[in-house]
Every structure is written in structure tokens, then in C-alpha cells.
Amino acid sequence: MLPEIIAIYAITDDLLKAIGHQEDVRVQLSDAEVITTALVSARFFGGNHQNAQDYLKEPGLMPKMLSKSRFNRRLHRLFLPLLDLFDCLGMVLKSIHSSTESWLDSFPVPLCDNIRIPQVRLVRCEDYRGYIASKKRYFYGIRVQLLATADGIPVEFAFLPGEANDVRGLNALPLSLPANSEIYADAAYTDYKIEDALRDTEAVTLQVARKRNSKRPDSPALAYIKQTTRHFIETVFSGIPVQFPKAIHAVTMDGFLLKVSTFIVAFTLKAAFID
């Protein structure tokens, strides 16, 4: 556990320097230490910041740890730098990855159980009521659109309301990939205009599984490749939300999105550099 925490801090500090992040010279707990604490919380303590703070303070790893309220205020101010840090990390992973294939999919993150929807205070909007086709059930929360390498390492993500369909995810993600890359996705991402635009402007091929009534049917060989790839994508992406706790505690919507972001970033660091 300790070597992994040290690795998370070293990578976080290097990435903050790479994006040119500047912090107040008067701070006693650096921004890299604040973000590391949040990532350690996501990685080992189910998102409980207080437990991570206590763990890092006791052995002297971060002896100048802030109080809970001050830590939360600092962390919220670092939400955008955390996203910039992940963008930089994603660019690095894309550049060093040998395969030209990427996986695109989404998964839901509920704000609460359906029975508790009337009591939820983080957000009150029907846009957040979505449907999980694989489980044939509704949920109330957000949908995470995620682009990953062929090894299952996330390199881009975006948050959308639960009711948003996957085609909106194509517009929410930058899909910044090297030329001649291929993105494999399921039939829910079918949008011929976006496919043509990606191919013509970015030289990126969107390999979407075709429906039976598709206007652009695949050859049997390509259909088999997409089907086989689809099974692998489902296996990889199902392992990401498993890292989340059953319930993510937050008192604001920004805090909820911040915690989900730390889970994704912590998973990425573990999958890319620690495993």
C-alpha cells in the first residue's frame, strides 16, 4: 500500500508540473498532496476523505494535514486542475500506446436508490432519470462516457445526465486520437454524420456495431470482429464501476462529480503504472 501511495504522489506531482500548475507559496500542504489524499481515498477507502487524511497523517507521510473542512475547500478549488491533470495523463497514454484501437462505452453512476429519489437534494431534474438496458431497470444519476485504450485504461471521460443517450457522448468527448485510429463501440453510438466527420477530418474510424436494419451493414468478417470486441469491452468496463462504493457520499453535485473523477483517475493510475 505504501509504495502505491508514493507512486501516486510522484505521478501527481510530475503531472501538475507538466501542466504548469502554480500554487500559493504560503500553503503548508501542497496541491499535489491534497490531490494525492483524494486519490488515496478513492483507491483504498471508498472515497472517505477523513479516513485517508487520518491514515496519511499518522505515520508522518503528510504531517501538516488540513482539517476536514479546509481540506474539502482546497480540494474543490483543485477540481479543474485535477481534470487538466487527467487530460495530460490521457495524452501521455495515447502517445505511448502501441495499438491503434480504442474502446468507447458508458456506465451509470446512481445518486441514490430509486426509492430515495424524492429525498435526494443534490439535484432535482428528470434529466437525471436514466435506463439501464442490460439490467432492465431505471436509475437516478449520471452517465459516464469513457474512452479507453485497448488495454482498458481510461484516457477520456465526460459526465452526462442519466437520460442522455450515447450519441451525446460522441459530442461530449474530444476523441483526440492519432490518425488511423479505430474506436469500437456498440450500436447505441450509431450516428452516420459523426462517423463521416471523424473519418474525413480526424482520420479516425468509428467502428460501431451495426443494427439489423442498418443502412451501412458490415461484412460478416467485420461483424464478427465487432461482436468479439464488444464482449471484451463489456468485461473491461464492468470492472471500473466495481471500484466505486455502493453509495458515494457528497453534499453537493460538484462534490459528487469530484469524487467520481477521483475514482476514475485512481483507477487509471493503477492500471497504467502500478499493476
Q: How many CB atoms lie within 10 A of CB 135?
A: 9
pLDDT at 107 over 80: yes
Residues 52 and 103 in one domain: no
Type of residue found at 123? V
Q: What pLDDT was estimated at residue 225?
A: 87
270 occurs within a structural domain:
no
Asked if 239 and 106 sit in the same domain, the reply is: yes
Structural domain of 66: 2-77
Residue matched to cell numbers 471500473: 240
Q: Is 256 inside any structural domain?
A: no
Q: Is residue 13 located within the same domain as residue 135?
A: no
Comparing C-alpha atoms, which of 271, 262, 203, 269 is closest to residue 236?
A: 271
Angstrom distance (rounded) from CA 104 to CA 100:
13
Task: Provide, rounded to the nearest whole percent, the portion of the chain with pLDDT above 90.
Answer: 62
185 and 63 inside one domain: no
Kindly state whether residue 258 falls inside one of the protein's structural domains: no
Instruction: Tell me the average pLDDT across 13-26.
Output: 93
Q: 247 lies in a domain?
A: yes
Phi/psi for 169 (5° steps) reads -65, -30
Residues 71 and 141 in one domain: no
Coil, strand or helix at 104:
strand
Q: Where are the alpha helices (DSSP H) in 136-201?
A: 166-172, 192-197
135 lies in a domain? yes
- Does residue 150 lie in a domain region? yes
Q: Which three cell numbers stand for residue 168?
A: 451525446
pLDDT tens digits along 49-84: 999 999 999 888 899 999 999 999 999 999 999 999
On whether both 136 and 231 belong to a single domain, the answer is: yes
Say if residue 262 is exposed, middle or buried (CB neighbours under 10 Å; 0-12, 13-18, 19+).
buried
pLDDT at 236 exceeding the cut of 90? no
Total structural domains within the chain: 2
Say if CB 210 and CB 218 are below 8 A apart: yes
pLDDT band at 85 (very low <50, low <70, confident <90, very high): very high
Q: To the nearest whole percent, how much of the chain has pLDDT over 70?
A: 100
What's the grid cell of residue 133? 438496458
Residue 51's Cβ-side half-sphere holds a number of Cα atoms within 13 Å equal to 10
Which residue matches cell numbers 495523463? 89
267 lies in some domain: no
Pair 214, 143 in one domain: yes
111, 65: one domain: no
Same domain, 185 and 145: yes
Asked whether residue 133 falls in the same domain as residue 40, the answer is no
Q: Is position 265 within any domain? A: no
Q: Quick check: 11 pLDDT over 90?
A: yes
Q: Are residues 110 and 16 located together in one domain of the fold?
A: no
Q: How confident is the model at residue 87 (pLDDT cuts 50, 70, 90)?
A: very high
Which CA distances in Å does 241 have to 46, 260, 261, 275? 12, 10, 12, 18
Is the CA virtual torsion 133, 138, 139, 143 positive or negative? Answer: positive
In a shared domain, residues 181 and 56? no
**pLDDT tops 80 at residue 114:** no
Cell of 76: 474543490
pLDDT at 275 over 90: no
